[in-house]
Amino acid sequence: MILPKVIGHRGAAGMAPENTLAGFRHAISVGAPWVEFDTQLSADKRVIVFHDDRLDRTTDGSGSVDDTDFETIRKLDAGAWFDPAFAGELVPTLKETLALLLQLGLHPDIEIKPAEGRETETARAVMAEVLAVWPVGVPPPLITSIKHGCLRIARELAPDWPRGLVCFRYPRNWRALLEDLACGIMICKESLLDRRRVERITGAGYALMAFTVNRPRRAATLLSWGVSSIITDRPEDILAVASQSL
């Protein structure tokens, strides 16, 4: 898989409400070729695009996503918290998101982000929906997760699709983990990375993505060390830096 230099984080989370169709549209409007977004289940097992465990921060609702049915979630405003201009933006389903991305020509980096105890059913539901709609002949999505069990299910259901392990801490046994999970990509919190770690990972033949990088100078440094992709809230700011590194 050929990875892009820049990936929009949750769409373009610095410029539009995260994990919304508006955010994905903004990402493509500024030239981002890929977007990253999060998937989880509502209480009634609908796959939605949403990051937090709770609804409070990015909607006008409250409570746990895991305990809220889709009909209730669908009535919430997921845009006004960011800016009144986005009032009325909805929490999208995975199916709606994939349909839009295919229409726009945006490539997805799909993070499986299950509630505690729902790893297996979330991974299976996400993979079933993507497999059902993804066109033959189009390069497959990147499937990522911090949860090892989710990545194993992704490998079981779509063994030829690319997978990435998300790391908020730097695992000393990173090579063994990547081999065990058959992941070709490691996705690290950017503060974990220095030149030596980047060179070790990429020198072992793995691609490396860094999140969430919003400072152009830091992005330029990471790319110069050999990081494959920068995941950013502000793709428009990082694309100019990335073009200079080509």
Closest CA to 210 of 193, 197, 196: 193
In the three-class reduction of DSSP (H, G, I as helix; E, B as strand; rest coil), residue 30 is classed as coil
* Structure tokens, 195: 């030149």
In the three-class reduction of DSSP (H, G, I as helix; E, B as strand; rest coil), residue 205 is classed as coil
Closest CA to 127 of 163, 102, 101: 163
Catalytic pick from 26, 51, 107, 148? 51
Q: Is 51 a catalytic residue?
A: yes
Catalytic pick from 9, 26, 107, 148? 9
Q: Is 9 a catalytic residue?
A: yes
Q: 160: buried, middle or exposed (CB in 10 Å: 19+, 13-18, 0-12)?
A: exposed
Residues taking part in catalysis: 9, 51
